[in-house]
């Protein structure tokens, strides 16, 4: 058995570009909130493929919708119309109260589109290019050149410089620093509503409101990255809805398709009218019928099953159990988060804890260098939280 697993790992390592230090785990299938490796070992999943699998694994209704669409039409092109993609866009409009959707293939690509829309909006208004974007330190927006240019992590950016020019960095949850970064050339502020990779930091109410006001004063657009914190994870469909602060452009991905690669940038009508026009943007795959069927089904299930309300309830319980855990262990120093997006700061090596958790049948990931991150499927129950706490405690 062990030999077989090593063989599978070696095969992968010989062919795949080595850009991940992967855990020595070969996953085979999933059922509900559990994953199984190729040896049949069972794992409670508190990572959900990095905040993707909101409904867990093997959801029959979702799988059936995708299978039916596969047999009908997987892909055509954006040169034509198709029904699932239009339905998906309408559902996303309804869930967000925003107006226009462009489907992408990933989160990073949604960020790229949001940046282009903001630049084009300012270009159309001012009649010239050369605009600036304010981004946050400790942010994460993706790995492509544009998204990397607004990612506030030197380590990710350094070797790829020069990146997109005209990006200024401010400190998250520090309104004065955002204010100081504004110039007459600023066309947008981009930020996560809850910082994910940076260590699970929710925006403070007054910060988000303050940034919104600064944007309005300067005629700049507010771009909220909801890729990780959106889609019900914080107990609202989109995290900004919990603040009552609406962005001009929002980026989605991760749980948007619950496993099929899809993202979106969504904007208000005013921005849509004055930014990207025919010829300005496109993608071959983006929003094809297969992912359209997935997004439509995901949004239907989220609303019908009132997933945000379930997240508020189980999320409060997870927060309480984590608070108790922090109180019991000196190596755990703080808990932060909203709903089912929680982080616990830890003085021990978090990578080692996640590796050890696997031995105990628990999948848990890290955020930054010192935070344990809890982003389980949104359908977990309190009993799963108890099971997770028990397994995690065994690793501490
Ligand atoms: C994951 C993530 C991205 C990048 O999404 P990809 O699909 O990996 O390109 C961007 N922003 C945030 C907040 C994310 O969590």
Atom of ligand 1 nearest to the CA of 111: 10
Decide if 290 contacts 259 (C-beta within 8 A).
Answer: no
Q: Distance of CA 9 to CAs 25, 27, 181, Å? A: 8, 11, 47
3-class DSSP state of 196 = coil
How far apart are alpha carbons 371 and 332 in whole angstroms? 9
Best of 254, 337, 367 for a ligand 1 pocket test (most atoms within 8 Å of beta carbon):
254
- Pocket, ligand 1, Cβ cutoff 6 A: 106-108, 140-142, 192, 196, 225, 227-228, 253-254
Note the pLDDT of residue 254. Answer: 98
Note the pLDDT of residue 2. Answer: 61
- Of 258, 336, 36, the residue nearest 45 (C-alpha): 36
Note the pLDDT of residue 1. Answer: 55
Whether omega before 162 lies within 30 degrees of 0, making that bond cis, reads: yes
Best of 104, 142, 144 for a ligand 1 pocket test (most atoms within 8 Å of beta carbon):
142
Q: 261 CA to middle of ligand 1, Å? A: 12
Atom of ligand 1 nearest to the CA of 254: 7
How far apart are alpha carbons 322 and 329 in whole angstroms? 11
How far apart are alpha carbons 136 and 175 in whole angstroms? 11
Structure tokens at 265: 């940038």
Q: Is the dihedral of CA 19, 23, 28, 31 positive or negative?
A: negative
Q: 167 CA to middle of ligand 1, Å? A: 19
Strands 132-136, 371-374: pairing is unpaired
The residue contributing the CA closest to ligand 1 atom 11 is 141
Domains along the chain?
2-58+306-395 (3.90.1150.10), 73-304 (3.40.640.10)
Q: 390 CA to middle of ligand 1, Å? A: 30
Q: 236 CA to middle of ligand 1, Å? A: 19
Q: What is the pLDDT along the chain (396 residues), one digit of tens a residue?
A: 567 899 999 999 999 999 999 999 999 999 999 999 999 999 999 999 999 999 999 999 999 999 999 999 999 999 999 999 999 999 999 999 999 999 999 999 999 999 999 999 999 999 999 999 999 999 999 999 999 999 999 999 999 999 999 999 999 999 999 999 999 999 999 999 999 999 999 999 999 999 999 999 999 999 999 999 999 999 999 999 999 999 999 999 999 999 999 999 999 999 999 999 999 999 999 999 999 999 999 999 999 999 999 999 999 999 999 999 999 999 999 999 999 999 999 999 999 999 999 999 999 999 989 999 999 999 999 999 999 999 999 999
Which residue do the tokens 């994910």 mark?
196
Atom of ligand 1 nearest to the CA of 50: 1
Burial degree of 155 (CB within 10 A; 0-12, 13-18, 19+): exposed
Strands in 167-170's sheet, in edge-to-edge order, are 100-104, 263-267, 249-252, 221-225, 186-192, 132-136, 167-170
Q: Distance of CA 319 to CAs 195, 330, 370, Å? A: 17, 18, 18
- φ/ψ of residue 106, rounded to 5: -165, 175
Q: 139 CA to middle of ligand 1, Å? A: 10
How far apart are alpha carbons 320 and 330 in whole angstroms? 17
Instruction: Give the helix/strand (H/E) hosting 42.
Output: strand 42-45
User: Half-sphere exposure of residue 85, counting CA atoms within 13 Å on the CB side?
Assistant: 25
The residue contributing the CA closest to ligand 1 atom 7 is 107
The residue contributing the CA closest to ligand 1 atom 6 is 107
The residue contributing the CA closest to ligand 1 atom 10 is 141
Strands 132-136, 27-31: pairing is unpaired
Q: Distance of CA 143 to CAs 110, 151, 225, Å? A: 12, 9, 14
Q: 343 CA to middle of ligand 1, Å? A: 17
Q: 259 CA to middle of ligand 1, Å? A: 14
Q: 221 CA to middle of ligand 1, Å? A: 20
Best of 152, 196, 283, 337 for a ligand 1 pocket test (most atoms within 8 Å of beta carbon):
196
Note the pLDDT of residue 166. Answer: 98
Percent of residues in the chain assigned helix, strand, coil, to nearest 5: 45, 20, 35
The CA dihedral of 123, 110, 285, 124, to the nearest 10 degrees, is -10
Structure tokens at 302: 């989220």
Any residues with CB less than 8 A from the CB of 393 and at least 6 apart, and which? 325, 328, 329
Note the pLDDT of residue 3. Answer: 72
Best of 140, 202, 341 for a ligand 1 pocket test (most atoms within 8 Å of beta carbon):
140
């Amino acid at each position: 058995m062990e030999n077989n697993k090593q063989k599978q790992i070696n095969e992968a390592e010989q062919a795949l570009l080595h850009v991940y230090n992967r855990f020595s785990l070969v996953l085979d299938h999933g059922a509900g909130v559990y994953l199984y490796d190729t040896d049949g070992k069972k794992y409670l999943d508190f990572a959900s493929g990095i905040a993707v699998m909101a409904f867990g694994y093997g959801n029959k209704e979702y799988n059936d919708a995708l299978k039916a669409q596969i047999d009908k039409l997987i892909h055509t092109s954006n040169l034509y119309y198709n029904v699932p993609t239009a339905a998906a866009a309408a559902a996303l409009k309804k869930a967000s109260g925003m107006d226009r959707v462009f489907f992408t293939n990933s989160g990073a690509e949604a960020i790229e589109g949001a940046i282009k829309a903001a630049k084009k909006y300012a270009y159309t208004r001012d009649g010239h290019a050369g605009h600036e974007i304010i981004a946050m330190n400790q942010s994460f927006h993706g790995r492509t050149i544009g998204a990397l240019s607004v990612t506030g992590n030197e380590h990710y950016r350094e070797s790829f410089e020069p990146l997109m020019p005209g990006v200024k960095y401010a400190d998250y949850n520090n309104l004065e620093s955002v204010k100081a970064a504004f110039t007459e050339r600023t066309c947008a502020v981009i930020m996560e509503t809850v910082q994910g990779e940076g260590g699970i930091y929710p925006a403070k109410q007054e910060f988000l409101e303050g940034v919104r006001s600064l944007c309005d004063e300067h005629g700049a657009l507010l771009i909220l990255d909801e890729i990780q914190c959106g889609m019900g994870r914080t107990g609202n469909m989109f995290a900004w809805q919990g603040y009552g602060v609406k962005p001009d452009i929002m980026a989605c991905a991760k749980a948007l398709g619950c496993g099929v690669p899809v993202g979106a940038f969504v904007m208000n009508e005013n921005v849509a009218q004055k930014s990207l026009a025919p010829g300005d943007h496109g993608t071959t795959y983006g929003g094809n019928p297969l992912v359209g069927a997935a997004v439509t089904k995901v949004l239907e299930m989220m609303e019908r099953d009132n997933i945000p309300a379930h997240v508020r309830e189980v999320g409060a319980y997870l927060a309480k159990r984590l608070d108790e855990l922090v109180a019991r262990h000196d190596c755990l120093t703080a808990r932060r988060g909203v709903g089912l997006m929680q982080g616990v700061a830890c003085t021990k090596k978090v990578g080692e804890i996640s590796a050890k958790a696997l031995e105990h049948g628990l999948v848990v990931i890290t955020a930054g260098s010192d935070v344990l991150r809890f982003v389980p499927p949104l359908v977990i129950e309190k009993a799963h939280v108890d099971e997770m706490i028990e397994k995690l405690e065994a690793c501490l």
